[in-house]
């Protein structure tokens, strides 16, 4: 069953991975994984997943700035619209190259894009006073290794570990209301402000696994460390000068348990549970790092908040289950169902997500295989309200409702074995 189960595992993992990354809580898109280390021999794997969430906001209301402008949009001279699309599609590439250093020690170099977000509500609604466009991108260059030793006649225990070098970039544009207070008392007009920040950092992971290859049985538990950033950059458009800023942020730590086992000839069942510590993300303050701003702006002290991101997330939970089946020596198929608990506490539209994934693997020979997977999901309905943040009135905030919305994903990848 080992050769067939290997094909099944490949199809199952791509289907489950597509579902899990379709719209994970917080900003998660993908993660470093150890699955390739369980496969024998040298191999290279590459692929890309495209995800298209269709989140739409409606009944947008409650903005103090909207009321102050008497309901007229200063960018158009017409009444504010009350609905808008929020999310944009995105692609998530990945690459892995694995080699056996000894019979028991294997390592894999991997590239992932672990977190990201891209929303763009435009300038037709009062949502523009919170943010017009927001985008976070990341790159993770990782090295994972596995060392195994015998545990009984047929089983093995593996020690899993790895390190990553990460790069992250953030961008936000925001429409700023007129009359914003300044150090010199002058009133500024309506304008657009921009935040651009970036940083680099390191992370690590450690875990263990038990497997019986003959039965395609495997259980693993892996802890992924948090990655801390001091994101440096600039704020422009707020005042007639560029302000250097820095903000402390974290990619949260997580714990993931995975399990799979053969349940009948050519059939495999699998599941996973992942906890992500998103609740450590409440507010990211971007503060002035210059002690000598020019002219009247010298009144802004170093360390003063210039702008920020109010997140107040709760912890994320992702639960996946599914089955895979080997049809013949060339074809395997798999399906999965994923529930992802929304991380929003009411300030954002990141509610629970249910996703169905379907995948297939085609292997014309022992050295090459191609995998195709798709996912369809439901973004559950709700209301977001950031007119009050931590009990304090937010004059640029608003309220919006959203229905059950659609999310879709398509993934293609290939693996070459040596």
pLDDT per residue, tens digit, the chain (418 aa), is: 544 454 455 445 555 555 455 556 668 888 888 999 999 999 999 999 999 999 999 999 999 999 999 999 999 999 999 999 998 999 999 999 999 999 999 999 999 999 999 999 999 999 999 999 999 999 999 999 999 999 989 999 999 999 999 999 999 999 998 875 555 455 788 999 999 999 999 999 999 999 999 899 999 999 999 999 999 999 999 888 899 999 999 999 999 999 999 999 999 999 999 999 999 888 999 999 987 777 677 778 888 888 888 899 999 999 999 999 999 989 999 999 999 999 998 889 999 999 999 999 999 998 999 999 999 999 999 999 999 998 999 999 999 999 999 999 999 999 999 8
Query: What is residue 112's predicted lDDT score, i.e. its pLDDT?
Result: 95
Report pLDDT for 3. Answer: 45
Enter the tokens of residue 170: 């953030």
CATH classification of 2-417, choosing from 1.10.600.10, 2.170.190.11, 2.60.40.10, 2.40.160.60? 2.40.160.60
141 vs 20, 136, 166, CA distance in Å? 21, 17, 6
- Closest by CA to 128, choosing from 69, 198, 53, 51, is 69
Please, are residues 372 and 333 in contact by the beta-carbon 8 Å criterion? no
Dmax (CA) of the chain: 80
Supply the pLDDT for residue 7: 47
Q: Which two tokens stand for residue 373?
A: 């997977």
Euclidean distance between CA atoms 396 and 381, whole angstroms:
23
C-alpha–C-alpha distance, residues 238 and 244, integer Å: 12
**Can you tell me whether residue 323 is helix, strand or coil?**
strand
Q: Are the CB atoms for 24 and 17 separated by under 8 Å?
A: no
Q: Which pairing describes strands 133-151 and 117-120: parallel, antiparallel, or unpaired?
A: antiparallel
Pairwise CA distance, residues 342 & 383, whole Å: 13
Query: Where do the domains of the chain lie?
Result: 2-417
d(CA 169, CA 40): 36
- Taking the CA atoms of residue 68, residue 73, residue 77 and residue 83 in that order, the dihedral angle to the nearest 10 degrees is -140
**pLDDT number for residue 180:** 54
What pLDDT score does 10 carry? 47
| Residue 402 · residue 57 · CB < 8 Å | yes
- Cα pseudo-dihedral 359, 362, 363, 367, rounded to 10: -70
- Name, in order, each residue with C-beta under 8 angstroms of 257's C-beta and a sequence gap of 6 or more: 219, 220, 221, 272, 273, 274
**Residue 100, beta-bridge partner list:** 106
DSSP of 222-266:
EEE--EEEEEEEEEESSSSS-EEEEEEEEEPPEEEEEEEEEEETT
Residue 358: strand, helix, or coil: strand
Q: pTM of this prediction?
A: 0.91
Region at 5 (left for phi over 0; alpha for psi -120 to 50; beta for the rest): alpha
Distance CA 327, CA 309 (A): 50
Taking the CA atoms of 288, 294, 296 and 299 in sequence, report the sign of the dihedral they define.
positive
Contacts with 175 (C-beta within 8 Å, 6 or more apart), sequence order: 75, 123, 128, 129, 132, 190, 191, 192, 193
pLDDT at 291: 76
In the block, tokens 């995105």 appear at: 90
């Amino acid at each position: 069953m080992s050769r067939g189960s290997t094909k099944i595992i490949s199809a199952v993992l791509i289907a489950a991975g597509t579902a899990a990354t379709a719209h994970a809580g917080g900003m998660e898109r993908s993660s470093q994984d150890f699955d390739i280390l369980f496969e024998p021999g040298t191999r290279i794997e590459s692929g890309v997943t495209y995800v298209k969430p269709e989140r739409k906001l409606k009944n947008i209301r409650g903005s103090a700035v909207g009321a102050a402008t008497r309901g007229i949009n200063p960018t158009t001279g017409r009444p504010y619209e009350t609905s808008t699309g929020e999310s944009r599609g995105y692609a998530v590439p990945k690459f892995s190259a694995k080699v056996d250093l000894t019979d028991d020690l294997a390592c894999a170099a991997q590239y992932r894009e672990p977190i990201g977000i891209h929303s763009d509500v435009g300038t037709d609604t009062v949502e523009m006073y919170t943010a017009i466009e927001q985008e976070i991108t990341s790159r993770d260059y990782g090295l994972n290794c596995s060392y195994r030793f015998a545990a009984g006649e047929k089983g093995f225990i593996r020690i899993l570990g790895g390190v990553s070098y990460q790069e992250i970039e953030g961008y936000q544009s925001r429409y700023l209301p007129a009359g914003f207070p300044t150090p010199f008392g002058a009133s500024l007009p309506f304008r657009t402000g921009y935040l651009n920040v970036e940083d680099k950092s390191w992370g690590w992971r450690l875990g263990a696994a038990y497997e019986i290859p003959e039965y395609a049985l495997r259980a693993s538990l892996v802890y992924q460390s948090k990655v801390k950033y001091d994101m440096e950059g600039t704020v422009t458009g707020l005042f007639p000068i560029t302000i250097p800023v820095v903000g402390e942020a974290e990619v949260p730590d997580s714990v993931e348990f995975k399990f799979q086992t053969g349940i009948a000839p050519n059939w495999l069942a699998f599941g996973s549970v992942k906890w992500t510590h998103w609740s450590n993300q409440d507010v990211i303050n971007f503060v002035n790092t210059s002690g000598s701003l020019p002219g009247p702006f010298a009144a802004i002290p170093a360390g003063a908040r210039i702008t920020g991101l109010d997140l107040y997330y709760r912890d994320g939970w992702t639960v996946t289950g599914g089955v895979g089946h080997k049809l013949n020596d060339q074809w395997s198929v798999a399906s999965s169902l994923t529930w992802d608990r929304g991380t929003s506490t009411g300030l954002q539209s990141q509610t629970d997500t249910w996703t169905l994934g379907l995948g297939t693997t085609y292997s014309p020979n022992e050295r090459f295989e191609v995998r195709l997977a798709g996912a369809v999901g439901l973004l559950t309905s709700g209301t977001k309200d950031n007119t009050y943040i931590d009990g304090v009135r937010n004059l640029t905030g608003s309220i919006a409702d959203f229905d059950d919305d659609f999310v879709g994903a398509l993934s293609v990848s290939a693996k070459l074995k040596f």
